Each structure stands twice: as structure tokens, then as C-alpha cells.
Amino acid sequence: MSVLIKPIITEKMTADSELYNRYGFVVDPKANKLQIKDAVEAAYGVSVKKVRTMNYGPSRKTRFTKTGVQHGKSNVKPITPGQRFKVVNGFDAITADKPEKSLLAPLKRSGGRNSQGKMTIRHRGGGHKRRYRIIDFKRDKKDVTAEVKSIQYDPNRTAFIALVEYTDGEKRYIIAQNGLQVGQKISSGEKAAPEIGNALPLSKIPLGTIISCIELRPGQGATMARSAGTFAQLMAREGKYATIKLPSGETRLVLANCFGTIGAVSNSDHQLIVSGKAGRSRWLGRRPRTRPVAMNPVDHPMGGGEGRASGGHPRSKNGIPAKGYRTRSKTKDTNRYILERRKK
């Protein structure tokens, strides 16, 4: 390996050599300071007192694209305005592009309308047609080993899903945990090892373990920490209850015989996605939204007004304050299980 590539000859470097006896070189990026010192002393017959290194080059912003993780100067130029700031997931973890037909179900969209055809939820409609993937949230096939066949994309959720096949031939979809690999063996039940992808009762999981897909009631199926990149932590156990710190920051008691899955949920890069254009929102079934301050007073509490007098305190169309207003009932029976309120 040639450590010294060439000397740096600039006006500033010439002044530094005359005033401070300092010299600059372009060196091999893999060379360390000791190797640079030895190379300079061998080449010029001098004694080097100190070596300072610096990396030069353009700032590089990571982009997650369909062809994998690429840098700001990617191979594809932004030839349309929608591509300029677009950041999409690389889908590097995905290993299959066709779903398992036996685990698909039709999914009818409502377009935000109720049974009478009246719009009850705004900003919904259109979007690409989807089919529902039947997910095994209960993990109720106990003490039977399953092999991970593939990691797949699910249009109905932010997390990736894993197709697993049990030793008796049955196939099921589960939420894929971060680090779950094709060919890995997983299982659920009290006898399962506390490893990535295995589902165990909270009473059998070591304290401090990162978990996800947690039941709130025994046998109900996973309801908490299911979206992309989320995880909870098992903090303590006392009696028949376990203490869990949830992704929202809430600390609450859950029955220790409820099941949880070891590991964080996959697709943690989901939070980095930037759609780049309005059309991508339309593909997802989201219709345009009008800013409340642009409405008239008859349409929204924040409507009307001129200049600086417009707007007011942020609130919903029904008048419920936003920005931290607490809407949970103070008389709710399950408040006694919450040790610390959520932080976000």
C-alpha cells in the first residue's frame, strides 16, 4: 500500500511550511497516523513530531431508494421535481415479491363513508387496490418449531411480515422482527428460548429484554408495539403483573401471562421516508387536506380573520384542543395500571 499519494501545494500550505514548518500530503484513506508518520520520515529523512488527518470531500446525504441505500449523488439524476427530495425505503430485507395466496383476504375500502354513504372521515379515498394479509397475532401454535421462509412487504402496515412454515406444513404470517433471517427457526410457548422472533409469556422473558407485539389481555393477540421500528422494554415483575415501558414513554402493568415477542419490529428506516410529491399520498388513499386557517369561520374554529388576527389556539374541527391536550378519561378503570403517563 502506497501511503503517500502526493504533496499538497497551495498558497496556504506554502505559508504554513514557511511559518510553522507544517506540510500537507494526500494520503491513502485506509492509512493510520503511525503509518503516515513512518512514510514521511522514510521518504524525506525528517523527524515528524505530530500528525493531523482530515477527510476532504463533498457532504454526502444518505438516500434510501428502491435500488438500495444510495448517497445524495446517486446514479439516477432527479429528472422530475418529485424525485428531487424523494427518500424511499431500500427494501433490502425483502426476499419475496409474491404473497402466499392461502393467507390473502379481500379488503373493501370505505372511502371515509359510513353505511348510509355519508362522509364521516375526511381526506380518505382512492389509492391502490390492496388485499389483506392474515397475520397471526396470537402465536397460539405452542411448542411447534417453524422456519422463516421469506420476509415480505405488507401494504396494510408499516412493518415487514415474515412467512413461516411449521413442521406440520401449516403456513402463517407473523410480524417480522428486526434481524429475523430466512431459514431461521422460531417457536412460541413457555419452553421457547428468549431469541429474536420467539414469542414467550412475559413471566419467562428476562428483565431488560427488548420486546414487541405484546398482548394486553391473555389470548387476545398482540396489540402493542406492532408498527415499524417500535419496541418496548420489560422493566420489572411483581406478583402476577409485569411492568413494561411502551414506545410512547408510558410505563404500565400487564398481566405476566400475556405473550410478547423478542426483538424490535422490522423496517426501522420507515421514519426516514420522504414521499417527494403529493401523488404518492394519493396512491396510499390520502386525499388533499385544507389548512384550517384558510377556511371560513363557519367551516372551522380556526377559520376567518384578517392578517395576524387569523388562526387562534390550535384545535380540531370539533373544537377539541390540539398540542398536548389530554383526552383520556380520569375515571377510566384501567388508569390504575398506568404507572407513568405517556410522553408523546
Specify the pLDDT at position 58. Answer: 53
Through-space distance between the first and last CA atoms of the chain, rounded to whole angstroms: 53
CB 218 within 8 A of CB 255: yes
Specify the pLDDT at position 173. Answer: 98
Q: Is 323 found in the same domain as 197?
A: no
Q: Is 185 found in the same domain as 308?
A: no
Tell me, what CATH number does 324's domain have? 4.10.950.10
Q: Is 19 found in the same domain as 133?
A: no
What is the grid cell recorded at 327? 383526552
Taking Cα atoms as reference points, which of 65, 11, 23 lies closest to residue 47? 23
Residue 283 inside a domain? The answer is no
Taking Cα atoms as reference points, which of 162, 139, 137 lies closest to residue 150? 162
SS3 state of residue 261: strand
Q: Is 121 found in the same domain as 239?
A: yes
Q: Write out the residue range of the structural domain in which residue 23 sits.
A: 4-44
CA quadruple 59, 61, 65, 68: dihedral sign = positive
Residue 262 inside a domain? The answer is yes
Residue 192 inside a domain? The answer is yes
Q: Is 206 found in the same domain as 116?
A: yes
Q: Is 252 found in the same domain as 195?
A: yes
Task: Quote the pTM value.
Answer: 0.76
Q: Is 121 found in the same domain as 204?
A: yes
Specify the pLDDT at position 19. Answer: 82
CB 169 within 8 A of CB 141: no
Specify the pLDDT at position 344. Answer: 63
Residue type, 233: Q
Residue 108 inside a domain? The answer is yes
Residue 11 inside a domain? The answer is yes
Task: Give the pLDDT means over successive 10-residue stretches in the chain (344 positions).
Answer: 82 82 86 88 88 69 47 58 87 92 96 96 96 97 96 97 96 96 96 96 96 97 96 96 96 97 95 92 96 95 92 94 92 96 81
Alpha helices in 129-224 (DSSP H): none
The domain tally of the chain equals: 3
Cβ-proximal residues to 171 (8 Å cutoff; 6+ apart), any chain: 100, 102, 103, 149, 163, 164, 165
Specify the pLDDT at position 75. Answer: 40
Q: Is 195 found in the same domain as 114?
A: yes
In the chain, which ranges are E strands? 4-7, 25-27, 62-65, 68-71, 104-106, 131-133, 146-152, 161-166, 171-175, 185-186, 199-201, 210-212, 214-215, 222-224, 232-238, 241-245, 251-255, 259-262, 338-340
Taking Cα atoms as reference points, which of 247, 189, 187 lies closest to residue 223? 247
Tell me, what CATH number does 178's domain have? 2.40.50.140
Q: Is 303 found in the same domain as 187?
A: no
Specify the pLDDT at position 71. Answer: 38
Q: Which one-letter DSSP state was computed for residue 181?
A: -
Residue 315 inside a domain? The answer is yes
Residue 285 inside a domain? The answer is no
Residue 30 inside a domain? The answer is yes
What is the grid cell recorded at 169? 406444513
Q: Is 322 found in the same domain as 262?
A: no
